[in-house]
Amino acid sequence: MLLVGLLAAGCAKNETVVDTPADSIKDTGFVTVTDFIGRQVKVPDQVERIGCLYAYTGHVVTMLGRGSDIVAVVEGLKRDVMMTEMSPGIKDAVVPSAEGAINIEELIKADPDLVFIRNETAQSEGEIEKLEKSGIPYLVVDYRNIKEQMYTIEMIGKAIGAHEQAKEYNDYYQHCIDLVQARVAGIPEKERVTVYHSVNEATRTDAKDTLPADWLKVAGVNNVSINENLKLLGNKYFASLEQILMWDPEVILANEAGVADYMMTNRQWSALRAVKNNKVYQMPNGVSRWGHPGSLETPLAILWTAKTIYPDRFTDLDMVAETKTFYKDYFRYEVSDDEVASILSGVGMRAKKEGKRI
């Protein structure tokens, strides 16, 4: 775990408590779990109905084998094609949250034993007051780097009685990190490929001390937007097109369907080396968009990126086989050849708001 600790060292100055779920305090009928903001929360030791008011937590709960117990979700979770195929009940789950506001009456009707919310919601006194008055136990789930993402998986596993499954997943996560780091370790810093990572929108990108900054570093590339002056809108970081043209990355990765095609066909982007050399890649999309800040599939993003950018160092890595094994082992889901093709193409795995796939 030394590597992960070093990658996350930048977060040591903040006040977030990252406890070990295995050390959680047990009480008769309850288990006490420390959440992202350091709250120690008593939750029933037999959680049967789960509210996921952060899409990422729905992915984790499903991965841990409890997708059929999800009774409340955010609307975005219903747009993930594989999620609704794995857990059809999500289509009918209550949506008691819109634009960060919780409809507490609808949530109470869903009768969850435990609710997961994101830190953004926890920052609103009004939303927390509603949850506190309802008496429903809730855990704040968020992360900014690899170490904290691994903790969220452990935390959720502990809270819903799936600690062993969570550990197995994190062991795989660490295996992917170690494998890639061992193979890219010999690449001199000045010879590492420069990469621009597009998050959803063409000019939205990665800042320092974020999950994508971590996993791209593990993959052995130089992320051009790190340590640069970006524009912060809400909790999202943006670069100007002029900045991107000045960076002139060798490779561009885009994790939103259609963005890579947009860059390759728009004249404003045509001067970039990555465009000229046809090295603008659409990232895969499975349960979620690989490499996205809210993606559970970070281990796969690391493998795919390393193989895509340094193919000679990963000739033995078969991403089709790896993808099939991943979903079978951790989601108990058999992926067909056609589905693997769709996942790796990054197209057709997420529905628009009106229901069409993109």
Q: Tens of pLDDT along 42-96?
A: 999 999 999 999 999 999 999 999 999 999 999 989 988 898 899 899 999 999 9
**Where are the extended beta strands (E) located within the chain?**
26-27, 30-34, 40-44, 50-52, 70-73, 97-98, 101-102, 114-118, 138-141, 194-198, 204-205, 222-223, 231-233, 236-238, 251-254, 280-282
The three-class DSSP label of residue 90 is helix
Q: For residue 129, give every residue at least 6 positions away whose Cβ sits within 8 Å of its Cβ, in sequence order, or none.
A: none
Angle (nearest 5°) at CA 275 between 271 and 279: 150
Letter string b/e over residues 279-309, b meaning 16 or more CB atoms within 10 A of that residue's CB: bbbbbbbbbbbbbbbbbbbbbbbbbbbbbbb
Rounded Cα gap, residues 120 and 279, in angstroms? 35
Query: CA-CA distance, 111 to 272, in Å (whole number)?
Result: 53
pLDDT for 25: 46
Which residue has 């990469």 as its token pair? Answer: 195
In this predicted structure, the answer to whether residue 11 has a pLDDT above a threshold of 70 is: no
pLDDT band at 167 (very low <50, low <70, confident <90, very high): very high
2-167 topology per CATH: Rossmann fold (3.40.50)
Let me know: does 107 contact 96? Beta carbons within 8 Å: yes
Confidence of residue 348 (pLDDT cuts 50, 70, 90): confident
Q: What local confidence, expressed as pLDDT, does residue 172 receive? A: 98
Tokens of 262: 């947009």
What is the per-residue pLDDT for 353? 61
pLDDT above 50 for 288: yes
User: What pLDDT score was predicted for residue 355?
Assistant: 47
pLDDT above 90 covers a percentage of the chain that reads 82
Q: Specify the pLDDT at position 287.
A: 94
User: Distance (Å, rounded) from C-alpha 206 to C-alpha 232?
Assistant: 11
Give the residue-averaged pLDDT of 97-111: 91
* CATH code of the domain made up of 187-345: 3.40.50.1980
User: Is a pLDDT exceeding 60 seen at residue 1?
Assistant: no
42: which 2 tokens? Answer: 């008593």
Local confidence band at 292 (pLDDT 50, 70, 90 cut-offs)? very high
Supply 252's token pair: 């561009």
Any idea where the domains of the chain sit in the sequence?
Answer: 2-167, 187-345
Encode burial over 92-107: b for 16+ CB neighbours within 10 A, e otherwise.
ebbbbbeeeebebeeb
pLDDT exceeds cutoff 50 at 344: yes
Helices (H), 160-222: 163-184, 211-218
Q: Which amino acid is at 257?
A: A
Average pLDDT over residues 270-284: 98
In angstroms, the CA 262 to CA 264 distance is 5
pTM: 0.89
In angstroms, the CA 60 to CA 65 distance is 9
User: DSSP labels for 305-334?
Assistant: HHHHH-GGG-TT--HHHHHHHHHHHHH--P
Give the other-Cβ count within 10 Å of 155's Cβ. 29
Q: Scanning the structure block, which residue is given the tokens 């008593």?
A: 42
What value does the mean pLDDT take over residues 201-210? Answer: 95
What is the SS3 assignment for 42?
Answer: strand
Q: Which residue has the tokens 């963005």?
A: 259
Q: How confident is the model at residue 354 (pLDDT cuts 50, 70, 90)?
A: low
Q: Helix or strand or coil: residue 8?
A: coil
Cα distance between residue 58 and residue 78, in whole Å:
10
- For residue 163, give the nearest of 73, 285, 45, 298 by alpha carbon: 45
Q: In what order do the strands lie in the sheet with 194-198?
A: 222-223, 194-198, 251-254, 280-282
pLDDT of residue 352: 66
User: Can 2-167 and 187-345 be said to share one CATH topology?
Assistant: yes
**Are 298 and 291 a contacting pair, CB within 8 Å?**
yes
Per-residue pLDDT band for 234 (boundaries 50, 70, 90) equals confident
